[in-house]
Structure 1
Amino acid sequence: MRALLAGAITAMLLAAATMSARAADEPLKVCLDEDVPPLSAHHRGKPDSGFDVVLAQTIADRLGRPLKIQWFESKLDEDSSPALEANALLSDGRCALVGGYALTKDSLVVPGVKTAKLPDFDGATRDDRRRRIPVGVLMPSQPYIYSPMTIVLGPKAKDRKITDIGDLAGLRLAIESGTLGDAILMTYEKGKLIDDITHLVPGRSDLLGELERDAFDATLLDLRRFDAHRAAHPDTKITASGYYYPIGANRGYVALETDEALLDAVNKVLSDLQSTGKLAELGRASGLTYLPPREPAILGDVWLKILNR
């Protein structure tokens, strides 16, 4: 009897070891946007790069798993929904984690629809572009970086001290229509800056290029975009004001709520990387102005916050 019991235990241990080995061999699949440098970038003929790329590799290494990145393209149009696109990628098994995800209350609500379309992704077929995917519920990791908006100054305004949005009065302001920055500037003190603002069309105008050419004095945009411009133009004449708009969002990973065990493991790695200063080190090495996560971890209704300021 004892021999039979010992044999059964040995078999169970061997099976568990085999399953563990298989899990270690399975790639950690992470979905990343292909064109948001210096967070992540994937372009033909160039090596993959960005903070989220090296972070994903670091996490995979800590978990003892190979990394597989699924690149996707997020369209900036009225019909797109980053939350549903991320959900569709996860629900279709394209990845287990979506990185660089803005952690806001709106982006983490239970979907109001049962299915969603996949975004364009590397390797997508014609059928993939037509399919609708039954979606699940998203669950966030702990945040790993804070992404604020910042004021960037043109050559003639480089010495202007900016401590608040009101310090922009009298400058030639450029902003992309329909963006968060547009809402902030247009509603500041009930329209105080409206006469100074020129609107540009997103995707059709080169906002920072216009600032570089001294067509405007200042703009308000994601800090990431200025980092990317500075990396691409080391001799740039536009400068960071050092001012960060007080309402910003943390970024982290999202997974389906059924992958809670994976998120727990990822959170343990992120906590260690944060406490040892490794996250800041990876950010600097990627050309990113790294700012640690801030409270609240998940941003609430940003529009109400802006309108009430």
Structure 2
Amino acid sequence: MSGRLALGLAALLAALATPARAADALSICLDEDRPPLSVHHKDALDTGFDVLLAQAIAERIGRPLKIQWFESKLDEDSSPQLEANALLSDGRCALVGGYALTQDSLVKPGMKTARLPDFTGATREDRRRRVALGVLAPSRPYVYSPMTVVLGPKAQGRKIKDIGDLAGLRLAIESGSLGDAVLMTFDKGRLIDGITHLVPGRDDLLGTLARGDHDATLIDLARFDAYRAAHPDTAITASGYYYPIGANRGYVGLASDGALIEAVNKALAALAAEGKIAEFGKQAGLTYLPPREPAILGDVWMKIIQR
């Protein structure tokens, strides 16, 4: 083969390879059981706010979407930060959706390695090995995620304008949760005598509230949306009160993938301006609240203690 012919063939191959790279799938990790944000159905279409948004983001940047589903354990030992970092650092996805944007969730991890959460397609070896961790970088936020007070049947109609209005009620909260810190530290422990602690992942917090075992709890708003959708005749009700310290949610990727984060930010800005993100929330049954300042929440534990 002549040198000129070889150069021409190389140029042709390079030209053909360029659009193939541009069409590489956009891989996004989503929690498989987190309604109404994201739900993986084995025998039906996947659903949820984050699924709709991921589809729109991929379309905006001109890449097919690939969702990597994973399972996040609801217990005191789980770490969403380390789980997300492990998935990204292992190349399971380029972005993790629905990530709480707080300063402590974005700092360089204190450990060098972490185990992967269970994910679709994981092997026995995947469940045993540890992954070298990278540094996380956030996208712009796309939804505000506050905590809200939910009332049991015996407390229906109770006016809640502040945490202090919960005094005298039988309160239930999951141990180690953000809501636990709020209730336990409020006004130097004024509510402690009325608090019952439940075990995350074992006790049914909202179920005990619906049975009338307790009068109120403080949980993530999206979690109440999910319960209400699954139990349309439930006796528990929204108080309408949102705790003033809440976190925005967005995507998180590796700091080394800045070009992708920038492209996603442009797509998010356009979708927000068109009202599409709020529309996705409505379709998914999510009480959608737009992001609030600060975009990244500071030391949430100190803010709670100082209130």
Q: With structure 2 as the length reference, what TM-score do the two structures score? A: 0.93
CA shift at 1:23, angstroms? 2.5
Q: 1:290–1:82: structure 2 CA closer, same or farther, 3 Å change rule?
A: same
Give the paired residue count. Answer: 302
**Counterpart position of 2:240:** 242
Which of 50, 53, 56 is the matching residue for 1:55?
Answer: 53
Amino acid at match of 1:70: Q
- From 269, 280, 285, give the equivalent of 2:283: 285
- Distance in 2, matches of 1:160 and 1:167, equals 9
Please state whether the residue corresponding to 1:136 is helix, strand or coil.
coil
Q: 1:217-264 CA distances to partner (integer Å, 9 max, x unpaired)?
A: 111001011000011011121111111000011100011111110111
Fraction of identical pairs, as percent: 73
Corresponding letter in the other structure for 2:170: R
Equivalent positions of 1:1-150 (< 5 A) are: 17-150=15-148
The amino acid of 1:67's aligned partner reads: L
Partners of 2:254 and 2:16 in 1: CA distance: 26
Partner of 1:231: 229
Q: SS state of the match for residue 246, structure 1?
A: coil
Q: In the alignment, what sits opposite 1:196?
A: 194
- TM-superposed deviation, 1:281: 0.5
How much does 1:16 deviate? Answer: 6.9
Say which SS state the counterpart of residue 63 (structure 2) adopts: coil
Equivalent pair of 2:76/2:175 in contact (CA under 8 Å): no
Partner of 1:179: 177
Worse-superposed segment, 17-26 or 150-159? 17-26
Letter in 1 for 2:129: R
Q: SS at the partner of 2:252? A: strand
Q: Which is further off, 206-215 or 226-235?
A: 206-215
User: 2:290 matched to 1:297?
Assistant: no
Report the CA distance between 1:182 and its aligned residue: 1.0
Give the deviation of 1:168 after TM superposition.
0.9
| Matched letter for residue 101 of structure 2 | L
Q: Partners in 2 of 1:145 and 1:20 — Cα distance?
A: 35
Report which stretch shifted further, 94-103 or 151-160: 151-160
Matches of 2:198 and 2:129 in 1, distance apart? 34
> What is the CA–CA distance in structure 2 between the aligned matches of 1:29 and 1:118, rounded to whole Å?
16
Q: Which residue of 2 aligns with 1:162?
A: 160
Amino acid at match of 1:83: Q
Tell which deviates more after alignment, 36-45 or 178-187.
36-45
Given residue 97 of structure 1, which amino acid in structure 2 is its aligned partner? L
Q: Which runs of 5+ in 1 are unaligned?
A: none
TM-score, normalised by the number of residues in structure 1: 0.93
CA distance in 2, matches of 1:185, 1:46: 40
Cα distance in 1 between the residues matched to 2:78 and 2:151: 31
Report Cα offsets for 1:33-74 as digits up to 9, x if no partner: 111111111143343111011110111111121111001111
> Is 1:221 matched with 2:219?
yes
Amino acid aligned to 2:201: G
For the residues of structure 2 that align with 1:112 and 1:205, how far apart are their CA atoms?
Answer: 31
Q: Does the Cα contact within 8 Å between 2:33 and 2:71 map onto a contact in 1? A: yes
- CA shift at 1:283, angstroms? 0.4
- How far 1:17 sits from its partner (Å)? 5.0
Pairwise CA distance, 1:154: 1.3
